Amino acid sequence: MLNSRALHRPVRAALLQLLRWPLWQCGFRPFFLATAISAVLLLPAWLVMLAGTLPMPAFPGGAVAWHAHELLLGFGLASVLGFVLTAVPEFTASADFGRRQTVFLFALWLLAPLAVLLLPGLGAWPLALLQGTLCLWLLALITPPIWRDPTRRQRGLWAALAALLIAGAAFSLDLALGGLLFADPLQGLRLLLHLMLLLIVLTLARISMRVVNRHLEEAGAEPDYIARPPRRQIAALLIALHAAAVLAELPMAAGWLALGAGAACLGLLSDWPHTRVLLRRWVAMLYGLPWLLGLGYLMEGAARLGAPIAPSAGLHLHALGALGLAVFAVLCIAGRTHAGFVLDERRWLPWAASLLLLAAGLRALAGSFGWPLLPLWWSAGLLWSLAYLLWLVRIGFDLARRRRDRGWGCAGPQ
């Protein structure tokens, strides 16, 4: 009889070899790749389902709930995982998270779509356990370094992340419990979207100050761009209050709070400096985010208060526009610099960002002011996926290779 240790040696060797793969050098690598791949696949699959070529998935709340679930807890959560696993050690000057933790979290994320496919036979408990464990495990990982940070600067970010991850775990648990927490799965998914938008407001300042001030220096101007905390905090508070009103099913309050959140998000633009750098590709991309956030909330508020706008217009301007562009910007910035590259200045990047903006605009127009539905749905979905396909071709697959600067881990270019 073979010794059990002899049987375990090949398995152990294979696992060690897997951990040495450059994909696991830093937490953002597998999750950013997964984010882009899911963006390329999800919307075309949804369009094919709408055309009747593929069967609609069996999901609590129906096919639309599945579509929103995959966008938020598939595409969106993968980007949050990649960002958090990379940003928290950088922001708190703490050690990088281990490769085994990254592999474990990625395995949980990757198994969730399989659990969705098996819902008719196994029920919602496997999905609830996978996604609940994923969200709560990530929260347990990031809490100690943030709370040990003597500067205490990241505790607001922790609060937003904790709200998002707890809501994600609660939504997954609610699927298994049959709707004890949320009257409708779409209600819980809308909450997750608004919490992701809240996270964008809080993290946009950190990224944009670095990028904008660097471009100001290159233009020979004073690097004086400051994302002022009061404006950001007001916008975040109004987004949180609007999300609470939506959750409590208070349509009039949600409408007025959405208008307030839209005005507050547009108010963030008053911090932005010199127009001579706004047209530079990296600055313009980040400058577009407050516009998308603000216009999305204004459209949602107007629709709730009776304006002749499709109820989903603001929702899709947020999901495809603000969330899509924010994730794309993070993939391009963190996905390059933490893999040992300088920022990409090639022409494909503004074209890809323009595709995301065009897709969000077309989808917001669908069903509003007499515009047709199906042609705009198809155009928006394909353009949005094409933008992420360009990222995969131009940047994405470098994340599975060794760093060209011979560095290791999450460090910037040597």
Closest to 397 measured CA to CA, from 1, 19, 36, 88: 36
Place 326 in a pLDDT band, splitting at 50, 70 and 90. Answer: very high
CA 31/CA 336 separation, integer angstroms: 14
User: How many percent of the chain have pLDDT more than 70?
Assistant: 92
Between 244-248, 295-299, 343-347, 382-386, the lowest mean confidence (pLDDT) is in 343-347
Q: What does the pLDDT look like over 353-401, one tens digit per residue?
A: 999 999 999 999 887 767 777 888 899 999 999 999 999 999 888 888 8
Place 5 in a pLDDT band, splitting at 50, 70 and 90. Answer: low
Residue 219's pLDDT is: 73
| Tokens describing residue 342 | 């300088």
Q: Is residue 94 part of a domain?
A: yes
How many domains does one find in the chain? 1
Place 15 in a pLDDT band, splitting at 50, 70 and 90. Answer: low
Q: What does the pLDDT look like over 189-217, one tens digit per residue?
A: 999 999 999 999 998 888 888 888 887 87
CA 101/CA 335 separation, integer angstroms: 19
Residue 1's pLDDT is: 44
Buried b (16+ CB within 10 A) or exposed e, 166-194: ebbbbbbbbbbeeeeebeebebbbbbbbb
DSSP run (H or E) holding 243: helix 229-247
Amino acid at site 370: G
Residue 183's pLDDT is: 83
- Give how far Cα 72 sits from Cα of 154, 191, 351, Å: 24, 10, 25
| Tokens describing residue 358 | 């065009």
CATH value at residue 212? 1.20.210.10
CA 37/CA 391 separation, integer angstroms: 10
Buried b (16+ CB within 10 A) or exposed e, 70-104: bbbbbbbbbbbbbbbbbbbbebbeeebbebebbbe
* Domain of residue 141, residue span: 23-400
* Total-model pTM: 0.92
Q: Is residue 170 part of a domain?
A: yes
Residues 6+ apart with CB under 8 A from 12: none
Amino acid at site 54: L
Residues 6+ apart with CB under 8 A from 31: 78, 79, 81, 82, 85, 106, 109
Closest to 193 measured CA to CA, from 355, 320, 378: 320
Residue 2's pLDDT is: 44
Residue 23's pLDDT is: 83
Closest to 138 measured CA to CA, from 110, 90, 104, 114: 104
Residue 228 CB: number of other CB atoms within 10 A? 12
Residue 274's pLDDT is: 62
Q: Is residue 391 part of a domain?
A: yes
Mapping DSSP to helix (H, G, I), strand (E, B) and coil, where does residue 102 land? helix
Between 61-75, 145-159, 179-193, 364-378, the lowest mean confidence (pLDDT) is in 364-378
Residue 83 has pLDDT above 90, yes or no: yes
Place 7 in a pLDDT band, splitting at 50, 70 and 90. Answer: very low
Q: Is residue 2 part of a domain?
A: no
Query: Which residue has better confidence, 281 or 288?
Result: 288
Whole-number average pLDDT of the chain = 88
CA 145/CA 95 separation, integer angstroms: 9
Residue 181's pLDDT is: 86
Q: Is residue 1 part of a domain?
A: no
DSSP 326: H
Residue 274: burial class (beta carbons within 10 Å; 0-12, 13-18, 19+)? middle
